[in-house]
Amino acid sequence: MQDNNYFDNYRKAGDILKIVKEDSRKLVINGYKVVDLAEFIENKIIELGGFPAFPCNISINNVAAHFTPNLNTELVLKTGDYVKVDIGCHIDGCIADTAYTVKVGESDDDLIKATQEALKNAIAVVEPGVKTNYIGKIIEDTIKEFNFNPIKELCGHGLKPYILHSGITIPNYNSNTGSKLKEGDTLAIEPFASTKAGKLKSSEEVYIFKYLQDRPLRDTTSKKLLSVIKQNYKTLPFAERWLEKNHAGLKINFSLRNLIRANSIYPYNVLVDSEGGLVSQAENSLIVTSSGCEVYT
């Protein structure tokens, strides 16, 4: 078990996200540009003393995860859209990760409540010794009580310094086998619910990436960009939009595709419901304590 000071940066990152969540919700309205929402959220995190742990994901309707806008994205929010806002903050690599869903211009309906309740019920059973597949069963049972299906291909995850998905996996269904949580584990639980079967397909679109390794590269511009990526983002995900803003001279789109081919960076392809189902998400980060857990986002 780490001493209490170890967790202070996690808590500070979580406190920042509590403010950002509240402020950003007010902007999830008809006619608001998606890129302006993402920029507001990321800039607010920095203004409050943190750094984005990953690009702000703004996934709408049947898009489940991994969408973040580029600078020239003209997409705007529309009344009735299910908007999933997934945001992360880190302080010295200690990560807070949280998400919420808003139906633009309308109050929360059963699809949104399904993931909110699943998250609440999952958190309620967290304690040392509980198995991750049991948490998954709680999530699945809750979502099915609302007559929706969990998305099994997405899961909650452990959080370690500079590692967004580390070690622990929290499934969104009863996976039958799992590992036991222990005191001091830091993790995010994030149920996803779909109006269809909850199966995903990978889109060809990709706007988020992560550094993997150095590889031999002939193209000097791609080499320079890889160096920028390592220096600025380490092992955490980054957005093409961030590079567009700060390093426009490095042929960003071309260089990123080159780095993917070289297996130097990992592409997070946009994930969509394969049957066009509408998707909701809820997420909080927590620390497992001796008697339960502390939710810090």
Which is the catalytic residue, given 153, 190, 240, 273?
A: 190
Judge contact between 109 and 157, C-beta under 8 A: no
* Same domain, residue pair 31 and 138: yes
* Same domain, residue pair 78 and 132: yes
* Same domain, residue pair 48 and 104: yes
* Same domain, residue pair 74 and 107: yes
Read off the pLDDT of each residue in 120-146 and give the average, rounded to a whole number. 98
- Which residue has 């269809």 as its token pair? 196
65 strand-pairing partners: 271
Question: What residues form the annotated binding site?
Answer: 66, 86, 97, 157, 165, 190, 283
pLDDT band at residue 2 using 50, 70 and 90 as cut-offs: low
Distance, in Å, from the CA atom of 226 to the CA atom of 152, rounded to the nearest integer, reads 33
Mean pLDDT of the chain: 96
- 165 assigned to active site: yes
pLDDT at residue 12 above 90? yes
- Distant-in-sequence, close-in-space partners of 259: CB < 8 Å, separation ≥ 6: 209, 217, 222, 225, 226, 229, 265
* Same domain, residue pair 86 and 192: yes
E-strand ranges in the chain read 51-60, 63-65, 82-91, 94-103, 149-150, 155-158, 169-171, 186-189, 192-194, 200-211, 238-239, 265-273, 279-281, 284-288, 293-295
Other C-beta atoms closer than 10 Å to the C-beta of 245 total 12
pLDDT at residue 162 above 90? yes
In tens, the pLDDT along 208-227 reads: 999 999 999 999 999 999 99
- 183 assigned to active site: no
Which is the catalytic residue, given 36, 39, 165, 219?
A: 165
Domain of 262? 207-271
- 90 assigned to active site: no
- 92 assigned to active site: no
pLDDT at residue 1 above 70? no
pLDDT band at residue 230 using 50, 70 and 90 as cut-offs: very high
Question: What residues form the annotated binding site for a divalent metal cation?
Answer: 86, 97, 157, 190, 283
* Same domain, residue pair 159 and 109: yes
Read off the pLDDT of each residue in 14-42 and give the average, rounded to a whole number. 98
Residues counted in the chain = 297
**268 dihedral zone (left: phi>0; alpha: psi -120 to 50; beta):** beta
Which is the catalytic residue, given 86, 117, 153, 273?
A: 86
* Same domain, residue pair 55 and 147: yes
* Same domain, residue pair 102 and 153: yes
Question: Into how many domains does the chain fold?
Answer: 2
Read off the pLDDT of each residue in 10-19 and give the average, rounded to a whole number. 98
Question: What residues form the annotated binding site for substrate?
Answer: 66, 165
- Give residue 189's pLDDT: 98
In tens, the pLDDT along 242-286 reads: 999 988 788 899 999 999 999 999 999 999 999 999 999 999 999
The least confident of 4-8, 141-145, 242-246, 293-297 is 4-8
Read off the pLDDT of each residue in 166-194 and give the average, rounded to a whole number. 96
Which is the catalytic residue, given 157, 185, 240, 273?
A: 157
- 86 assigned to active site: yes
* Same domain, residue pair 264 and 277: no
- 22 assigned to active site: no
- Give residue 248's pLDDT: 79
Read off the pLDDT of each residue in 38-62 and give the average, rounded to a whole number. 98
73 token code pair: 């994205």
- Give residue 221's pLDDT: 94
* Same domain, residue pair 240 and 97: no
* Same domain, residue pair 92 and 159: yes
CATH at 239: 1.10.10.10
Distance, in Å, from the CA atom of 67 to the CA atom of 240, rounded to the nearest integer, reads 11
- Give residue 6's pLDDT: 79
Side chain identity at 219, as an amino acid letter? D
CATH at 192: 3.90.230.10
**Alpha-carbon distances of 217 from 71, 209, 260, rounded to whole Å:** 27, 18, 11
In tens, the pLDDT along 24-34 reads: 999 999 999 99
* Same domain, residue pair 21 and 43: yes
pLDDT at residue 4 above 90? no
pLDDT at residue 3 above 70? no
